[in-house]
A and B are shown apart, each in its own frame.
Chain A
């Protein structure tokens, strides 16, 4: 049992390391976009390999642990760790996508349109932080609260999309930058979606309740 506990701790340690790297990647990608910082964008791109490697390592650890036939909360933690690591890997990919598009955007002068991409980035980053905090603190209520904020993210992304579509239709000069900004906004929206996935896994971890695809994230018995 002592050894099993140790291996379980290693799995958690790997997952928390990956969470920190994925959070950092998103934060830095958003920073690079905001500051038009090419070196920072390149560092985000390069760092994605570390996140990918951790996903593979977490799967290996989890499969080793599953072969030992864990039960109850141990079983939930291991299966949830595999799913969360997959979401974090995708978060890393989205951060890389933002970094790559930032590098392309930086080849041209900024587009003169008022877009709330910083607001969208703040929401997505907050949601990712919130989901990971809910995981750390075993907080299913905090995890459930994230679904409301996801609607704000979706609305803001649609608004940005419409503004960019309008700007591109108005002037073909805007198309290349407009498309890059659309991809970035979509990546931020996807990061928020992954945060919601992680939050759903936290609810399962804490309450053994599968709330995925539920119309409303209601507490048990509500």
Chain B
């Protein structure tokens, strides 16, 4: 009889040798519209190239997560989507970034208008410290010339409700923004970004400085917001990307290695580099 000792079997952990799945997003069901179409995007800071010919279509009304090790170019990619690099004198960019078909870098395009259409939330909440909660939310609208108090009030409430903050602050709208907790301040920044009614919301590690409860609220909020907005989020937290995003892009050394449905990336990535990164065996 064929009886094996307990140690008689070989290690079953070798990676699967099956045929490589085609790289690229698969869309079961109706295909999502593309919100941001990035073609051959390269970015340099001085002589250093930090993004290398990245092409990627970000689906509308969905959450796309950007993952990769530090220095892989994921934040640079994110900032390319709303012309943040215009503010860096040594930055140079090649390629095309189109928002619903419109080239964001076309001559004559106003970067301020681009940033109104493509809002951003940063890792560390950055409410304006001298302003009240209400002023923080409406500052963008007032800078855009909106003066009618009724419309400002309407947008203030709508933005705070969308950011799931209204119930917590409705009785102290004129308190200093810095009186809020860290998680509330980050939701205030999201409300501020939403107030100008952007089409896309970029988030650069929006929950990395928050405790698990505040993180959970931000994640719930993002899932709620994707019904109306296109969201692109940079995160170092694989589980957060797995929980929240519909699609995930993995960057390494300035290149896009793999872009696919999140479920595929986190259960069966096509590229070995992605597998090594998401399982923590990188390097």
Contacts and interface: CB of A to CB of B under 8 A. Distances in A.
Interface in B50-105: none
Interface stretch (B141-149, B170-178, B197-205, B264-272): B264-272
Contact of B13 (A8, A17, A20): A8
B12 A24 contact: no
Nearest to B243: A69
A20 B7 CA distance: 9
B106 interface: no
Contacts, number: 93
Interface residues of B, number: 32
Given A19-B4, A69-B238, A71-B278, 13 more contacts: A1-B281, A4-B280, A12-B11, A16-B7, A16-B8, A20-B6, A21-B6, A23-B3, A28-B1, A72-B278, A73-B13, A76-B267, A208-B16
A22 to B, nearest CB: 11
A125 interface: yes
Interface centre among A13, A16, A17, A31 (most CB of B within 10 A): A16
Main secondary structure of the interface of B (DSSP, over half): loop
A27 B2 CA distance: 7
Chain A binding surface, main DSSP class: helix
Interface string A66-109: 00011111111100000000000000000000000000000000
Nearest to A221: B19
B110 to A, nearest CB: 42
A129 B6 contact: no
A132 interface: yes
Interface in B1-54: 1-19
B18 A16 contact: no
A220 B9 contact: no
A4 B278 CA distance: 14
A136 B16 CA distance: 12
Nearest to A134: B12
B239 interface: yes
Contacts of A208: 16, 267-268
Interface of A: 1, 4, 8, 12-13, 16-17, 19-21, 23-24, 27-28, 30-31, 69-77, 125, 129, 132, 135-138, 140, 205-208, 220-221
B28 to A, nearest CB: 14
Contacts of B274: 72
Given A70-B279, A135-B12, A76 B18 contact: no
Closest 10 CB pairs of A and B: A208-B268, A27-B1, A17-B6, A206-B16, A136-B9, A71-B278, A16-B9, A69-B239, A1-B280, A24-B3
A125 B5 CA distance: 16
B275 interface: yes
16 contacts: A4-B280, A16-B6, A20-B8, A23-B3, A23-B4, A31-B1, A70-B279, A72-B268, A73-B13, A74-B279, A76-B267, A77-B13, A136-B10, A137-B10, A208-B268, A220-B19
Contacts of A69: 238-239
B9 A132 contact: yes
Given A12-B11, A72-B268, A73-B275, A20 B4 contact: yes
Nearest to B275: A72
Contacts of A23: 2-4
A12 B268 CA distance: 20
Given A1-B280, A24-B3, A72-B278, A138 B267 contact: no
A63 to B, nearest CB: 16
In this complex, the member of A19, A72, A75, A207 whose beta carbon has the largest number of chain B beta carbons within 10 angstroms is: A72
Contacts of B12: 12, 77, 135-138, 205
Interface string B239-283: 100100000000000000000000000111100001100111100
A23 B1 CA distance: 10
Contacts of B18: 140, 206-207, 220
A8 B12 CA distance: 11
